[in-house]
Amino acid sequence: MIRLLLVTTCLLLSGYAAAQSEVAAKAAASAMPEITIYHLEGRRSERIVWLMEELNAPYKLVFERGDLAGSMANIRAVNPDVPMAPTVTIGNLVLVESGAIIEVLLNRYAPDKLQPALDTADYANHLMWMHFAEGSLAARLFSDYRAWRIDPPTERSRFVDSEATVQYAENYLAKHPWFGGAEFSSADIMMMFPLNVATGLNIVDEAQFPNVAAWKKKAGARPAYQRMLAKARPDGMIGNLPKLPKHAPAGPRT
């Protein structure tokens, strides 16, 4: 009887402790310090603005409207070593790398938002696209773009090139509504910029990627994306890089 009483009390106490630690975790998660986003219009810093709008969380947005050089001077003042957009301050912390900034913000301050739970099937794909956006897609897009501008290719590369990376996204979207899997996630936020670059600079032919085009339309219609555009790109794209005259030749790789 006494043992039963002890076990019951322990269970009650452990249930109480779990509930308390959940309360503590939620309290810690909500204590977001002041966030300042140093921004260049139409560039990768839009990702962080979009994220904050999705979270409905407060932030300060710093840029000089219509003046990329002026916006860059602001960035250089806080981050002289690698003046890049986004540069974000989270309290006293100064961070670059949009993917890392997003992971810090979500994991520390909004752990149950915009990413699938660790034990779900979607989590691994979500994380892969989070990193694929910069690690493979943007990297290949900009290297192909620069190579083309110097010396236009006459045939496709035999390596995984821009077109192959966009095709990979296209194939995934044939089976999943979002890069996060079943739900919209921060992987979708990461993928928008390079997929816009891919077609906007004519590095690949948009007509070949209908799933990507439909996804862009759907993601771009989200209210948080529209609020981001109104605040962070009030005059549309400025200072565009020149488009390629035509995309890389189609056909088999040699």
Q: Which residues bind ligand GSH (CB under 6 A)?
A: 40, 43-44, 84-86, 96-98, 134
Closest distance to ligand GSH from the beta carbon of 186 (Å): 13
Provide, rounded to whole angstroms, the least separation between the CB of residue 86 and ligand GSH. 6
DSSP secondary structure letter of residue 249: P
Query: 7 or 100: whose CB is closer to ligand GSH?
Result: 100
Whichever of 98 and 125 has its CB closer to ligand GSH, that residue is: 98
Determine if residue 253 is left, alpha or beta; phi over 0 gives left, psi from -120 to 50 gives alpha, anything else beta: beta
Cβ contacts of residue 120 below 8 Å, gap of 6+? 181
Measure Cα distances from 15 to 8, 20, 25 in Å.
10, 9, 15
Name the minimum Å distance from CB 85 to ligand GSH. Answer: 4
Please say which residue, 32 or 68, places its beta carbon nearer to ligand GSH: 68
Q: Which is nearer to ligand GSH, 44 or 216 (CB)?
A: 44
Question: What secondary structure does DSSP assign to 4-64, as a single string?
Answer: HHHHHHHHHHHHHHHHHHHHHHHHHHH----EEEE--TTSTTHHHHHHHHHHT---EEE--
Here the tokens at position 56 are 């409905």
CB of residue 42 to ligand GSH, shortest distance in Å: 8
Q: Is the distance from CB of 209 to CB of 38 less than 8 angstroms?
A: no
- DSSP E strands, 49-119: 60-62, 87-90, 93-96
In the complex, least distance from residue 242 CB atom to ligand GSH, rounded to whole angstroms: 16
Cα radius of gyration rounded to whole Å, the chain? 22
Kindly tell me which of 17 and 134 has the beta carbon lying closer to ligand GSH: 134
Whose Cβ is closer to ligand GSH: residue 86's or residue 180's? 86
Least distance in Å: CB of 71 to ligand GSH?
10
